[in-house]
Amino acid sequence: MSVVLQEPVLQEAPIRSRRGIVLETIRRRPSAAIGATLLVLVLLGAVLAPVLAPYDLHKQVGPVFGHPSWSHPLGLDDGGIDMVTLLMWGARISLVVGFAATLVSMLIGGTVGVAAGYFGGKTDTILMRITDYFLVIPDVPLMIIVAAIWGPSLFHIVIVIGILLWTSTARVIRAQVKSVRERVYVKRAQAIGAGHARIVLRHVLPQVAPLLIANTVLTIAVAIFDETALSFLGLGDPSRISLGKVIENAFQRAAISTGAWWAIVPPGALVALIILSCSLIGQALEDALNPRLRVAHLSARRFRLRPLVGRGSEAL
């Protein structure tokens, strides 16, 4: 009697391109695709507001707090302005604030993270210590104060949000740069005399850029939330109608006691939708790109604390 021993089949893990990783994530986590679709829809609506918006943003087209009807599917606000029009233009401003603030925070966080991770030693210690301090400043109160002292304007909001939100980006990027910097091709580039600038720009940045972008998507969500909060407290730019401003107006003009729920439910739901899709996309991207997260014991704190609770998730 002979036993046929089967050769153990060694399955080689296929080497995947970066695009392959992204597609794979989308297949495994359809939530990312849903998030992306939603965000693209909102973006389209916002970008095309001048073309698509059914009415004039500054013109009264019906009664104050007019009920939803066929011609105004979401009703009218306290000035008799069509809600759909208001939402499209509002999303435009909210998204601009979100993207601009994120750009600021990405620039600061990316620079600090790369510098700390690449140079290491004293630079690292000092930069990370500064990051620690920024981490404990409660963002909403500081924004309130700056907006109150400097005066409310879109530019101030963008700057303040950007200056406060870069800490977690810096931390994630630093960890990644630290590992990239030890790789052989970086050492070789150093050996043949490449300068710091060249190594960072040509060899390190391309490796961390995807992670930077994943982190950025999460920051957009936080920035949009913060803008909404500031507007609600009456510190938004009075000349620009953002989604936060729409909520504030409805609240101040007693939409609730009038029973005009349509003036207050849709703008908040839209903000929630934007934040939700950003979180879904950001997490899926981070899962796919951040090698730390694939190691089980490093993956615990995936979820960034929302602004209500500050930016403390990476503070441990």
Binding site for another protein (CB under 8 A): 132-133, 136-138, 140-142, 144-146, 148-149, 221, 225, 228-229, 232-235, 244, 247, 251, 256, 261, 264-265, 267-268, 271-273, 275-276, 279-280, 296-297, 299-303, 305-310, 312-313, 315-316
Identify any residues that bridge with 157 across adjacent strands, giving them in sequence order. Answer: none
Which amino acid is located at 1 in the chain? M
Query: Considering beta carbons, is residue 210 or 307 the nearer one to another protein?
Result: 307
CB of 172 to another protein, least distance (A): 16
Query: Considering beta carbons, is residue 100 or 271 the nearer one to another protein?
Result: 271
CB of 179 to another protein, least distance (A): 21
User: Cβ(83)–Cβ(91) under 8 Å?
Assistant: no
Query: Considering beta carbons, is residue 208 or 264 the nearer one to another protein?
Result: 264
CB of 226 to another protein, least distance (A): 10
CB of 44 to another protein, least distance (A): 20
Selection from 225, 215, 224 nearest residue 283 by Cα:
215
User: Would residue 240 be called left, alpha or beta, if left means φ above 0 and alpha means ψ between -120 and 50 degrees?
Assistant: beta
Query: Considering beta carbons, is residue 199 or 281 the nearer one to another protein?
Result: 281
Give the sign of the dihedral formed by CA 181, CA 187, CA 188, CA 189: positive
CB of 118 to another protein, least distance (A): 25
CA angle 224, 225, 231 (to 5 degrees): 90
Query: Considering beta carbons, is residue 19 or 297 the nearer one to another protein?
Result: 297
Identify any residues that bridge with 82 across adjacent strands, giving them in sequence order. Answer: 76
DSSP letter for each residue of 155-188:
HHHHHHHHHHHHHHHHHHHHHHHHHHHTSHHHHH
